[in-house]
Amino acid sequence: MKIHTLPCFDPFRCAASACRDSCCIGWEIDIDPDTLSIYRQVGGSFGERLQQNIVTEPDGTSHFRLTPEERCPFLNEDNLCDIILHLGEGTLCDICDQHPRFYNDYDNLQETGLGLCCEAAGRLFFSSDRPLTIRAAETDEDAPDEDSAESLPLLLHLRGQLFSLLQDRSLPLQARFTSMLLYAQAAQEAWDGQDLDALCEAELMLADLLPFYDAPWEEGEPSELPAELLRFFGTLESINGEWDALLRSAVDCLALPDRAALEGQFRADMAGRAWEYEHLAFYFLYRYFLHAVDDGDFLSRVCLVLLSVLTVRQLDFARWRENGGSFTLEDRIAVARIFSKELEYSEENMAAFLEEIRDSELFSPERLLEALSGSPL
C-alpha cells in the first residue's frame, strides 16, 4: 500500500497545557467501543469518576459529559489530561489519540496530514516559505480492492499539474490561481466527455497558459464575490465565538468608506507573503481534490480550494485592520485555525459549501474567474 505524507508536519508534538485553543474544550468527544470497554474495567475512585462522566446514547454511541464550560471532564486545572496521568497515553480514545490527524484512503493509497484547526500544526505549516512537498512511501499492508478506484492515477496526475501551476513563483499568485481554474475547467470538460484528445489539449495548454500575465497588471472592477462568500458563511452553523467575532469584523469591513484604500495598504503589507496563500491552497488541494474518486467532480473541489483561500484573505484583512495595520505569524496561524474549524470540522458546513459551489451561480467557475481578474491579491 502507498502512503503519502507532508514532511512539514514531521516534528509535530501536541502543545498540551501550552495550547491556547485546547481540542479538549468545546468539542463533543466520542468514545470508540474498544476504548469504552477498557474504561468500563477501570476500578477504584478514578474508575468511578470515568463511569460518572460517560454518556451512552440510545443508539449505543458514547461520549464524555462536558462541564458547563464545555471542557472535557478530564482536562484538569493545569490543562493536562487526567486519563493520561492516571492510565497512560495508550488508553486514550481514538479521537483524542489521533486528533488533529486526518487519513484519506483511496484504493491502494492512503494520504495523511494534520488539520490546521490545531495551533501546533499551523505553527509548523507556516514555519517556512519553502514550497511544500509530498513524501511517498510504501508499506507491506494489503490494499483494498485495487479495482475500486480506476480513476485514481489520472486524478493524481491532474493534481500534480495543479500543484505545479500553484507553485510557479515566477507568476503572481492571482495568475497561478487563474491558471489552475482554467486548467481544471478544460480537464473537467474532457473528463466528463471521456475525450482523451481534449484532455491532451488541456495538457498542451499548460505550456503557454496565460501568457498575458507577462504584461503590466490592469486592475479591473472590484468583485462582489468576497462579500458574497462572507454572507454565505454567515448562514452556516457556527462552531465557536471566535468565528462569529472574526466573521462580523470581516463583514463590517465591507461597508468601510475607505475600504479600497485600506485594502491597497493591506496588499502592500502582505506583498512578500503570497507563499502563505500558496501553502493554504496546497493544503486544501492535498486534502480534498482526490475525493473526486467518488463522483468525478474535481472542478468543484478546485473551486472550493480557491474560494476558501479568498475567504481566508478577507478574514486576514479584518484581523489586520483590528490590529491597526499589523498581521503577525500568530495572526496567520489563528485565522487559518478559526476557518479550518468552521469549515473542515463540521460535516454539515463542508457539505453545504460544496453543494453551493455546484448549484449556485454565485460561486461558479465563471464568477470566480471574474473575481480573479479584478483587484489583485
Q: pLDDT of 216-256, one tens digit each?
A: 445 556 678 989 999 999 999 998 889 999 999 999 999 99
Place of cell 470540522: 345
**C-beta of residue 162 within 8 angstroms of C-beta of residue 312:** no
pLDDT tens digits for range 282-306? 999 999 999 999 999 999 999 999 9
**C-beta of residue 274 within 8 angstroms of C-beta of residue 172:** yes
Give the pLDDT confidence score for residue 328 in this predicted structure: 97
**C-beta of residue 88 within 8 angstroms of C-beta of residue 109:** no
Taking the CB of residue 148, how many other CB atoms lie within 10 A of it?
12
Burial of 196 (0-12, 13-18, 19+ CB in 10 A): exposed
Q: How many helices (H) and strands (E) does the chain have?
A: 16, 7
Cell of 117: 484547526
Q: Which amino acid is at 328?
A: T
Question: What's the whole-model pTM score?
Answer: 0.90
Give the pLDDT confidence score for residue 283 in this predicted structure: 98
Cell of 71: 471542557
Q: What percent of the chain has a predicted confidence (pLDDT) above 90?
A: 60
Which residues are CB-contacts of 362 (< 8 A; sequence separation ≥ 6)? 225, 228, 232, 356
